[in-house]
Chains A and B, each alone.
Chain A
């Protein structure tokens, strides 16, 4: 027997209540999150290739390192999202804060690691690149499944949730790529660009946190 079409009404009331978070805030902050992610990608990729060589082997290793982090992060986000009682947007807020804090120190960290691992071979280059980008890409990768789960709780529509969230996040990534290429890297250089990206992460984190707290306070007052 085919399953009935899912709607928010068919989900447990606890889920829809927990999921209550305005798209008017969530979508713009996920755009900003995408912007900062692409700025990091362009800067970190450049820095790693400066450190470990810009030959095609290094490029392949660095790309693989980014994707591995994002992939594992995706699993982490999916795993966290199973818990129906957790306010998933708070995890998103924490992930953004984590990325931002890491971003602030990333240039100095990359330079330091680069200086003590000068003679690394191709495989070691991959391992070091992976180690350097693992934490932030893990956090970045977790955000989409977290927010999809949050949105499905609210709307009961997987395709629509994925479409919108993928749209806003990738739109942000596109804006980040244009912004970095056409203005940011020329004006601020690599270190300035990651500072801008980190500031965006912190802004996203705070906006989500404040919105969530205001809504919780309003809900309590109403009850």
Chain B
């Protein structure tokens, strides 16, 4: 008979020695249960990932054999103006897209946290875009951004006609014009995470704060924010990972253009690899994305490690 891990953790000291002795005997079928998925992931993820790191040290056109160039690709990045733009845009994306979706998502959650009449509809309205593909989202907004589209119409209608222009074709506005649809879709998601967090706060804390005469702002500062610390950590990880992965919305709106003005590392990596067929350099760009994400991945795993215990 195999031993249940849950039992092992919760049973008292009396049973502990016995369970430990039997713990080595896991039925073969159970081993197969974990091996099959593990092999599937190893084949499509771990093995390719190792290759990806290796390829970043090569120059490769995908046809002839990869040529080892050491850190040559990374040295090239230092002089690559497009890389610098993409890196800067990625950081800007992280700060603007990430920061705004966190703040506005929290704001929406605070507004819609209470169970009251109609709140389900409001939540669903803010949440609906989350289920759209970013490609569909992008096309919706592309229609809004057209020269004869809704946004310019409204601007003209309220007497701000001077601001009308081709939002996506202008190098100065393209990146921001792409961030807005991404935000439109992300805020509902962050809101859901925060609503769950807010519901987990013990109401007694607020009652105590009210008895002490705390204002609404003081309650938010001294009760809500500290209590949301673990949700904040989750939101931060989600935002950073999502920012670095962001691809669909930019690809379908601008492909990184005009003149790389909305280029992110992810779009630059894709076009370098699959359009310019510089697979080695593309891999090196992917490694940069990995390095930027590494801190988040590591802290996420450390947290998961504690919980899995």
A binds B: no
